[in-house]
Structure 1
């Protein structure tokens, strides 16, 4: 049955609807996406859109009866446009194309029922549109690749249907270089084929088709695109070969911008030509070629990924660290989706071509590479690595998308996985509002990582957006209260009945029927600390203090009662649905306890870390590579740098081995691998702790034994970029390279030192203990363009 239309209240002299937020407390009123400022050339090419957020009321827009500007439920700012239910209502603006080109037109829209439409017309003819589904939470919808010539009239219109429509934050962007028929499902349209090549059906990576190149010199398959505007992109494809010698090349205006020499690899793996810089009008050729004696080549699923213009770079006395970081940066960047591109939805191992197609929004792959989705658990673990790469817009969109799904109907769980349109549930993991995959730690980790994204980016929407704030509150209040019955103690529980009914732990391999698990209580602790930080960001010091106290109380309860008195195999890592304590080795529900810092630092925790290290190499070690990606984080947290680096190398050195899920491809093509190696280099080895909202940056060397120095350049924090170098554990240098903000640097040196020198001048040092490690530190203001060096005296 269709839900009742919202009641009306008086508004600005017009009848008005109450907002969804008044009727549905978890409505997703997402704040505007933080995007890179376009270059002057790109801005000049865009049609001039006026009053895109309706903050100037009705200026530049046209309205029929039953429509208007309201203030009760904006996506951002203070105003939105609304259309009442019933057909025949319309709000529109017409702009002129300044130059010829292709444009993506987007808006944030919420609807009370189906039947509405977001339409773009060129010179009166429909050029594209989106049929709006029923979705009471705001989501971003894009009408992609609108072709226009200079002087063409482009109409952007919202048209009513059977329910109300709210719209806000309209935008125009130059379309990226999307590939035609990237998966060859339309038979290779847009591609050029020489003799000895073609489209086949016998061994696709996904869907039902691929392209093949026979053995020999001369076979080539290529497609040439024209860049619509400036940008930096990576080009990737899944390729299998019968022998070495083939090539994957990207050329710009006839000159090779990058080439991958293909090895002998008869099973599919993903190859990337990274960081190709383009200008408007550039001709870009994507080409696959075989060679004499090289063997056959199969190609499928070509992808273009937009990237920030600069990326961080690492150098070190240990070349393996620099090699690892460079590989991870290129690989992680290749998983970013091109907004406005068309791709499959609900693709998985059962339906490899998906159930249809949709327009993708800002996002990146987080989860199995053979599924067309990002997962909450993987997203949480990849947020920091994405921030290191500058994928702040993607982080914001994805975290907001999960927040929108944590409704009362879902008992305040976010869904497990979303398609790359950022709004539809991945069907393999979602059957109904009461039957979908959900795991307790994810609910809390998404809160924790929203705070991390806030600290990396400085994006105020993380604290000001009402939907995100509602998510934080529901996750740390109603969610806990609703799921706390088997062992009532203020700790959120799972059902013990499997992942489609709500699991307490991320560990899906064990037989334990958890009500409470170590990874869920540890993640709950960090979520409480995160909300304390986010509340402080809102200026609510009283609420921040209450959440800090809740976190402290939970940690005390864990250490005095919940976890028992033992360590190693005797530490409690969970409780069954019957209330029985569970001990022994539990993978995630073991290492998440120290990872989330809920275990008091000291001898008991030290012994448990030894146990984790031992078990992770033993007979019951994890079988999937992504499980190991948590171990470096766990050991870096307690300054066990050699052990953390050992596990980083373990993950990296197995990047070319096949994943246990064969359809996934090699281990290195599991996205979590590359993203976490980035964050572990920056937050682990370099000890970077950003706080962009406060314009502060703390650092501490975590270099492993034998590494003399490590440095990073072009690391973005907030609106600034930095260079940082550690020389051993006794000297650090920070440069505030670009940006307008002065940052306060808290330079930490392990150990107790009465003084530290700042640019050669001795200064009294303070001390603090962080997770069991004593540091001496000084705070140094570092202005834009300035450099400071801190050394142990």
Structure 2
């Protein structure tokens, strides 16, 4: 059995559901935890709010996520990112739990886990790593027999590369830029891995579904047909490429370009930005159905598609503004209304983050709270609790670590300057305050008041750049009581934001507020 990752369009078989239910129940009862070394991790992150349900949901998610943190095992510091009780972490779950883990002070654990994936990339596995690694620092036996017979979802390499860059922004850890194992993983992923699996733009729509596999007549195969699934949909469809595969590839190319700029390889950075642009263009043309107003989910071959995709293009930021963005949002909202409390928590766990980004905060909060309600089906899946924490930080509070100048103009030896950008997405909530959030060498606090004011506290660490953003067109914002001209920027999906940038000294506090109520549309 694999990590059981699937897209929101995939429905597991009844047999698999039974197995998953057993594992979840066993894991929650502690039956499958023998021999583990639980951590005594106690995250400092705190949340208070005018909404008691949000506070309760956050408390549950924090406690649940920390229950999956371990120390002292042969693999090093880690947290569960697979089926509960498997005592392992898989590539996709790790990449998608990393934001929540960072907020909970688990940067060291995430770095170790990502490094384990990076160091195990191998030509004998056709430039795959181990899809899932267990606490004993080995390929999880449930997914791996040998280098010719193992489970692997092809978006995984791309997802991990993108996550490494994201974690660099949040932590400032130079190992993500200089460690030989990471650099080898990045280079092999965007080159040999793409070539070996026919994932280049000139091949991806014509590629074969089954590649680099032992001949099917070999009756000893344990993972027949699963060595190189071209997406996270683990059903029986004969698809050759998927929307999430292209989404992760786009994100990885963008991340690789940023890393190359940071390392001074600006020509290479431009080359991969061009490749990323090509992937984006393919998705927004060939994969877009203009008559139906939706994206196709999977490709069976040139001109042959099936399924619909809404979450994936939004999650990976590959969707164009305009009809494509609207179509993807409409598709996601329709899927939620049809199944508001999905059994597929893997997909639902990231819907809130995307909905906040798309300007639908109230629906986002509903999805967030649904995952935290008492006795919610499959909420023991680690991705749920970690993603709830992550969505509160990056979605509801709108906290993002962003470069303050183009990396292409930096000297190689210069540190990458970043700012903490905030964009409140409270919707009907009165106020929310987050405290003790780790960002690089700092610890910060942030309070949003009904989308009208934001107060930033640099609790610990050096001076920090804060970019306070609000939805809508506001020529002037009030900074610590004084009017200051704001700059207008295009936010997610083309929505207009008004932004001011200021320095907040160590131990200091600053407040930015609107002069008048925001426009209803935020445009």
Counterpart in 2 of 1:765?
A: 486
Task: Give the counterpart of 1:542 among 237, 261, 267.
Answer: 267
Task: Give the counterpart of 1:656 among 371, 375, 394.
Answer: 375
Say if 1:301 and 1:488 are closer, same or farther in 2 by CA, change over 3 A: same
Counterpart in 2 of 1:32?
A: none
1:594 and 2:309 correspond? no
> After the TM superposition, which residues 447-466 of structure 1 pair with which residues of structure 2 at under 5 Å, given as runs?
447-466=161-180
| Cα RMSD (Å) | 2.7
User: Given that residues 402 and 418 in structure 2 are in contact (C-alpha distance below 8 angstroms), is that contact kept between their aligned partners in structure 1?
Assistant: yes
Deviations 1:21-42 (A, max 9, x none): xxxxxxxxxxxxxxxxxxxxxx
User: Given that residues 496 and 514 in structure 1 are in contact (C-alpha distance below 8 angstroms), is that contact kept between their aligned partners in structure 2?
Assistant: no
Q: Which runs of 5+ in 1 are unaligned?
A: 1-204, 207-237, 239-266, 273-297, 341-358, 659-666
> After the TM superposition, which residues 565-604 of structure 1 pair with which residues of structure 2 at under 5 Å, given as runs?
565-568=290-293, 570-576=294-300, 578-585=301-308, 590-604=310-324
Q: Which secondary structure state, in structure 1, belongs to the residue aligned with residue 168 of structure 2?
A: helix
Deviations 1:216-252 (A, max 9, x none): xxxxxxxxxxxxxxxxxxxxxx9xxxxxxxxxxxxxx
1:270 and 2:28 correspond? yes
Deviations 1:663-703 (A, max 9, x none): xxxx2321111100000000010000025952411110011
> After the TM superposition, which residues 480-491 of structure 1 pair with which residues of structure 2 at under 5 Å, given as runs?
480-484=194-198, 488-489=202-203
Quote how far apart the aligned CAs of 1:495 are.
2.5
Quote how far apart the aligned CAs of 1:308 are.
5.0
Counterpart in 2 of 1:683?
A: 394
Say if 1:555 and 1:531 are closer, same or farther in 2 by CA, change over 3 A: same
User: Given that residues 483 and 494 in structure 1 are in contact (C-alpha distance below 8 angstroms), is that contact kept between their aligned partners in structure 2?
Assistant: no
Q: Which secondary structure state, in structure 2, belongs to the residue aligned with residue 468 of structure 1?
A: helix
1:328 and 2:61 correspond? yes
C-alpha distance in 1 between matches for 2:278 and 2:505: 40
Task: Give the counterpart of 1:502 among 218, 223, 228.
Answer: 228
Deviations 1:281-301 (A, max 9, x none): xxxxxxxxxxxxxxxxx9974
User: Given that residues 756 and 764 in structure 1 are in contact (C-alpha distance below 8 angstroms), is that contact kept between their aligned partners in structure 2?
Assistant: yes
Quote how far apart the aligned CAs of 1:329 are.
1.0
Quote how far apart the aligned CAs of 1:596 are.
0.9
Q: Which secondary structure state, in structure 2, belongs to the residue aligned with residue 571 of structure 1?
A: strand
C-alpha distance in 1 between matches for 2:487 and 2:29: 49
> After the TM superposition, which residues 327-476 of structure 1 pair with which residues of structure 2 at under 5 Å, given as runs?
327-340=60-73, 359-421=74-136, 423-476=137-190
Matched positions, count: 469
User: Given that residues 243 and 283 in structure 2 are in contact (C-alpha distance below 8 angstroms), is that contact kept between their aligned partners in structure 1?
Assistant: no
C-alpha distance in 1 between matches for 2:341 and 2:48: 33
Say if 1:788 and 1:579 are closer, same or farther in 2 by CA, change over 3 A: same
Quote how far apart the aligned CAs of 1:269 are.
6.4
Deviates more, 1:325-334 or 1:635-644: 635-644
Quote how far apart the aligned CAs of 1:519 are.
0.4
C-alpha distance in 2 between matches for 1:485 and 1:724: 42
C-alpha distance in 2 between matches for 1:519 and 1:481: 18
C-alpha distance in 2 between matches for 1:786 and 1:722: 10
User: Given that residues 243 and 297 in structure 2 are in contact (C-alpha distance below 8 angstroms), is that contact kept between their aligned partners in structure 1?
Assistant: yes
Quote how far apart the aligned CAs of 1:622 are.
5.2
Q: Which secondary structure state, in structure 2, belongs to the residue aligned with residue 756 of structure 1?
A: strand
User: Given that residues 243 and 312 in structure 2 are in contact (C-alpha distance below 8 angstroms), is that contact kept between their aligned partners in structure 1?
Assistant: yes
Quote how far apart the aligned CAs of 1:431 are.
1.6
C-alpha distance in 2 between matches for 1:300 and 1:778: 49
Say if 1:463 and 1:269 are closer, same or farther in 2 by CA, change over 3 A: closer
Quote how far apart the aligned CAs of 1:553 are.
2.7
C-alpha distance in 1 between matches for 2:176 and 2:329: 34
Q: Which secondary structure state, in structure 1, belongs to the residue aligned with residue 499 of structure 2?
A: strand
Q: State the TM-score, normalized to the length of structure 2.
A: 0.83
Q: Which secondary structure state, in structure 2, belongs to the residue aligned with residue 427 of structure 1?
A: coil
C-alpha distance in 1 between matches for 2:170 and 2:269: 20
Counterpart in 1 of 2:384?
A: 673
> After the TM superposition, which residues 134-153 of structure 1 pair with which residues of structure 2 at under 5 Å, given as runs?
none
Quote how far apart the aligned CAs of 1:430 are.
0.8
Quote how far apart the aligned CAs of 1:769 are.
0.6
Q: Which has the higher contact order (CA 8 A, sep 6+)?
A: 2
Counterpart in 2 of 1:512?
A: 237
Deviates more, 1:557-566 or 1:517-526: 557-566
1:789 and 2:511 correspond? yes
Quote how far apart the aligned CAs of 1:393 are.
0.9
Q: Which secondary structure state, in structure 2, belongs to the residue aligned with residue 403 of structure 1?
A: helix
Counterpart in 2 of 1:644?
A: 364
Say if 1:567 and 1:726 are closer, same or farther in 2 by CA, change over 3 A: farther
Task: Give the counterpart of 2:249 among 511, 524, 546.
Answer: 524
Q: Which runs of 5+ in 2 are unaligned?
A: 1-21, 212-223, 404-415, 516-523
Quote how far apart the aligned CAs of 1:307 are.
4.7
Q: Which structure has the larger Rg?
A: 1
User: Given that residues 366 and 672 in structure 1 are in contact (C-alpha distance below 8 angstroms), is that contact kept between their aligned partners in structure 2?
Assistant: yes
Q: State the TM-score, normalized to the length of structure 1.
A: 0.56
Structure with the larger helix share: 2
Deviations 1:588-634 (A, max 9, x none): x5421221121112233223222222224437995332231121122
